[in-house]
Amino acid sequence: MSSDFDYSAEQIQVLEGLEAVRKRPGMYIGSTSSRGLHHLVYEIVDNSVDEALAGFCDTIEVSINKDNSITVIDNGRGMPVDEHPKMKMPAVEVIFTQLHAGGKFGGGAYKVSGGLHGVGASVVNALSDWLEVTIFRDGKIYKQRYEKGITVSELKVIGNCKKSQHGSMVTFKPDGTIFEETVYDYDILKQRLREMAFLTKGLKIILKDERDEEREDREFHYQGGIKEFVQYLNRSKEALYPNIIYCEGKVDGVAVEVAMQHNDSYTESTYSFVNNINTPEGGTHMAGFRNALTKTFNDYARKNSLLKEKEANLTGDDIREGLTAIISVKLEDPQFEGQTKQKLGNSEARSAVDSVVSEQLTYFLEQNPQVAKIICEKSILAQRARAAARKARDLTRRKTALENTSLPGKLADCTDKNPENCEIYIVEGDSAGGSAKTARSRNTQAILPLRGKILNVEKARLDKIYANAEIKAMITAFGTGIHDDFDISKLRYHKIILMTDADVDGAHISTLLLTFIYRFMPELIKQGYVYLAQPPLYKIEKNKKVWYAYSDEELNQILKEIGRDSSNKIQRYKGLGEMDAEQLWETTMDPERRILLRVTMDEAASSEIDLTFTTLMGDKVEPRREFIEMNAKYGNLDV
């Protein structure tokens, strides 16, 4: 191989560049965990998306191959194969071996998509055991191969194709010596690719999983783009009006797209994107949107006497109650600021979104007075409820300030005061709560029994939520406060364990609890403090020996081992209440023997998290059943 190559100074630099990537992969792709592994796919797909945004590609196919290598195919122009005058190698080789090559496209077009660090194909190449690129253009098929970022075969013509066929194909196998995880998660790729398809209207993205014959190919293709994204997010909710409000424009080099629709819930679900990447911390684009929304609705409500002269202006929160919205901006040189460098800082994005939304929303409201009236009326109701909530909240605040030692009466607290050692079990029902109190290790385990079904925070306004006894008990027991008052350092237990019956009702209660935590103290989930206990489904007794089974498969396994005969006694637990304290300890609470599921959320496709909750909480029955069955099958609630 070395005989083929005469290493020039530039090529030596290339090797040093890629060596840097392999030495510190985290610097380039964030991490070498599962997240980084999936990030490789996004980097390659982003290049195809750029080709689509440039107007030359309308289909991208992503395959997870049997060996967990990935193939991406696009029908763009095909990467350039002509020799790079300076580097003395084909342009495609520059793309794959030169760090930062092709970062910005010249000639008016710009690179708009891009991953976590926007470093592209060469980083993927450097972190792959091998990578092969095939190019279809000018009636020829070209191919080149690299190993760990190093060119191992020169670019060759390997065949002919029709002149009309053009595009690029990349297959890479992530380097198992670099990544801690090398198995691709179908659902993670599915969610992100769906999101990308929503964000690029008209682009068709196909996902194939060659590892699983049963799995059918998925196709994501949305002519309506983010309008369909909003429709999708609201699919298990009741929309307040049939229209999706849509604004689009380009100001000062910033391409702006906004879609929104209100539903009958009380929570806002706005997602913002910069160059197709989610910005959970918002920034100037978000600020511009909020400003335009508040101003436009207040102007409209005043002008049309929906808001009386003596009444106060609607706040942004009032107007955004129950709003689902997508804000997508594309700009050439996004600047990120803030502690985690995740907030968009470009001020031209603020003014661009503000002006596009103000102008087009004003027009929409004038054209659709019934819709305008529905939104204004809902906002005015929200304004009144917010005033009531403020009173109720001030009341709870004062209470906790005065009697900050007064933990809820029903709480059986643990004696250890170091939160790191402490766990709190949130238990459904007083009787199970009683058993848990007897069973627990009182040093480190606290028990908080809750009565029956807890309030669905998706379906209640703040005033009602703050007045709810079960919710107040959890807030004071956890110690962190909520929303703006939230302070993780005050958390009293480093494990919050939800323990509910192993049936559909129990799953529903768990989800109500998770929804509350997610909406009011999301950091607890983000930082991994929330768990689900796993009580057994069956008790099997034979000759005075006892086994517990946590699933039907496990039951069958045990019966196979001990023999299926009439001396077996099988008890199906219908609820926690059927276990005595000792059994509850052995099966579900003993840290040495229990199974805990940690509740996690993947921020890569954050819009899906919201969906998990709303699907369960919404009024429509069908989507809810699907979710519960899905989780029953997989045996967890990994949100």
From the CB of residue 354, how many other CB atoms can be counted at a distance below 10 Å? 23
The interface mask with ligand 28G, positions 93-122, x = CB under 6 A, is ---------x--xx----------------
Q: Least separation, in Å, of the C-beta of 336 and ligand 28G?
A: 24
Judged by CB under 6 A, which stretch of 34-42, 162-170, 342-350, 371-379 contacts ligand 28G? Answer: 162-170
What one-character DSSP code corresponds to residue 330? E
Q: Least separation, in Å, of the C-beta of 63 and ligand 28G?
A: 11
Catalytic residue check, 501: yes
In whole angstroms, give the CA distance from residue 288 to residue 379: 20
Q: Tell me whether residue 73 or residue 353 sits nearer to ligand 28G (CB atom).
A: 73
Say which residue the tokens 């603020």 belong to: 350
Give yes or no for residue 90 binding ligand 28G (CB under 6 A).
no
Give yes or no for residue 169 binding ligand 28G (CB under 6 A).
yes
Q: How many CA atoms lie within 13 A of 486 on its CB side?
A: 12
Q: Tell me whether residue 53 or residue 576 sits nearer to ligand 28G (CB atom).
A: 53
Catalytic residue check, 187: no
Judged by CB under 6 A, which stretch of 47-55, 489-497, 520-528, 628-636 contacts ligand 28G? Answer: 47-55
User: How many residues would you count in the chain?
Assistant: 639
Q: Which residues ranging from 170 to 199 are in contact with ligand 28G (CB under 6 A)?
A: 170
Give yes or no for residue 257 binding ligand 28G (CB under 6 A).
no
Q: Which residues pair with 61 in a beta bridge?
A: 73, 206
Give yes or no for residue 72 binding ligand 28G (CB under 6 A).
yes
Q: Tell me whether residue 277 or residue 450 sits nearer to ligand 28G (CB atom).
A: 277
List C-alpha distances in Å: 387 to 314, 381, 406, 461: 12, 10, 27, 11
Give the type of residue at 547. W
In whole angstroms, give the CA distance from residue 428 to residue 454: 9
271 three-class SS: strand
Q: Tell me whether residue 79 or residue 259 sits nearer to ligand 28G (CB atom).
A: 79
Q: Least separation, in Å, of the C-beta of 479 and ligand 28G?
A: 50
Question: Which residue of this chain has its Cβ atom nearest to ligand 28G in the complex?
Answer: 47
List the 150-160 sheet strands across, edge first.
Answer: 150-160, 140-147, 128-137, 167-174, 70-74, 59-64, 204-209, 218-221
Q: Tell me whether residue 102 or residue 225 sits nearer to ligand 28G (CB atom).
A: 102
Give yes or no for residue 77 binding ligand 28G (CB under 6 A).
yes
Considering the candidates 501, 602, 608, 610, report the single residue annotated as catalytic.
501
- Please list, in sequence order, all residues whose beta carbon lies within 8 angstroms of the beta carbon of residue 390, skipping any fewer than 6 positions away: none
Catalytic residue check, 503: yes
In whole angstroms, give the CA distance from residue 304 to residue 31: 54
Q: Tell me whether residue 172 or residue 364 sits nearer to ligand 28G (CB atom).
A: 172
Q: Which of 18, 21, 44, 475 touches ligand 28G by CB under 6 A?
A: 44
What one-character DSSP code corresponds to residue 576? G
Give the type of residue at 38. H
Q: Least separation, in Å, of the C-beta of 467 and ligand 28G?
A: 55
Give yes or no for residue 145 binding ligand 28G (CB under 6 A).
no
In whole angstroms, give the CA distance from residue 292 to residue 290: 5
Catalytic residue check, 129: no
- Please list, in sequence order, all residues whose beta carbon lies within 8 angstroms of the beta carbon of residue 397, skipping any fewer than 6 positions away: 485
In whole angstroms, give the CA distance from residue 392 to residue 395: 5
Q: Least separation, in Å, of the C-beta of 145 and ligand 28G?
A: 15
Binding site for ligand 28G (CB under 6 A): 44, 47-48, 51, 72-74, 76-77, 79-80, 102, 105-106, 168-170
Which residues carry out catalysis?
A: 428, 501, 503, 505
